Amino acid sequence: MRLVRLGILGSGKGTNCRAILESIRSSALAAEVRVVISDVFDAPILDIAREFSIPNAYLPPGQFRTRLEPQAESDLVRLLRDASVELVVLAGFMRVLKSPMLDAFPRCIVNIHPSLLPKFPGLEAWKQALVAGEKVSGCTVHYVDEKIDHGDIIVRREVPILPNDTPESLHARIQIAEHELYPTVIGQICRQFSTA
């Protein structure tokens, strides 16, 4: 089976990126990461890319806080195209994407979010679930559209909320589920790509 070419975008720690790269290294995931791009200059996700010898880039996001400036988003499309990326994987990328990216990669951008969407989109979803008194939370992998943490849901994984949970303990438990779920789902999508 041929290797589907991935581009990973992230703004932070990069633990999901690491899980994907480790799955590829162990041959559990038949894909190739062509580039890792971050809108945060010193994001640890870029260090992880370097550790795995993956080409990586910092993308200056421009003046907005929750989205990229149009020129920056066009630059992002160019970077991904130059790397021949087929599937764009958001791994803690904290900006909403607009038409330059959505038109360039129709139904070829996926995201993981730490809640059972459509509940609790946005920042610190695990904290939102705790404050709301939920008994169960989890994570969701979905196709990306123009709204925050929105788009067709591919799969959801439940994670229990325990009585003594803190925001940190709950997020850590959700992340364990994310690291198992995301490479698995990406593998399923890659199989659709490579048989299309």
Dihedral in degrees, nearest 10, Cα atoms 85, 88, 93, 94: 120
Residue range at the interface with ligand GAR (CB under 6 A); choices 12-20, 24-32, 48-56, 161-169: 12-20
Q: What residues from 128 to 187 belong to the interface with ligand GAR (CB under 6 A)?
A: 149, 175, 178
Element (H, E) at 166: none
d(CA 68, CA 75): 10
Q: Which two tokens stand for residue 146?
A: 């123009």
d(CA 196, CA 182): 21
Residue range at the interface with ligand GAR (CB under 6 A); choices 21-29, 34-42, 108-116, 162-170: 108-116
Please say if 113 is a catalytic residue: yes
- Residue ranges of E strands in 20-135: 31-38, 56-58, 87-90, 109-113
* Between 75 and 149, CB nearer to ligand GAR: 149
Q: Which of 113, 142, 171, 179 is catalytic?
A: 113
Residue range at the interface with ligand GAR (CB under 6 A); choices 47-55, 60-68, 110-118, 154-162: 110-118
* Spatial CB neighbours of 196, under 8 Å, sequence gap ≥ 6: none
Q: What residues from 35 to 74 belong to the interface with ligand GAR (CB under 6 A)?
A: 45
Active centre residues (catalytic): 113
- Give the binding site for ligand GAR (CB under 6 A): 10, 12-16, 45, 91-92, 112-114, 125, 149, 175, 178
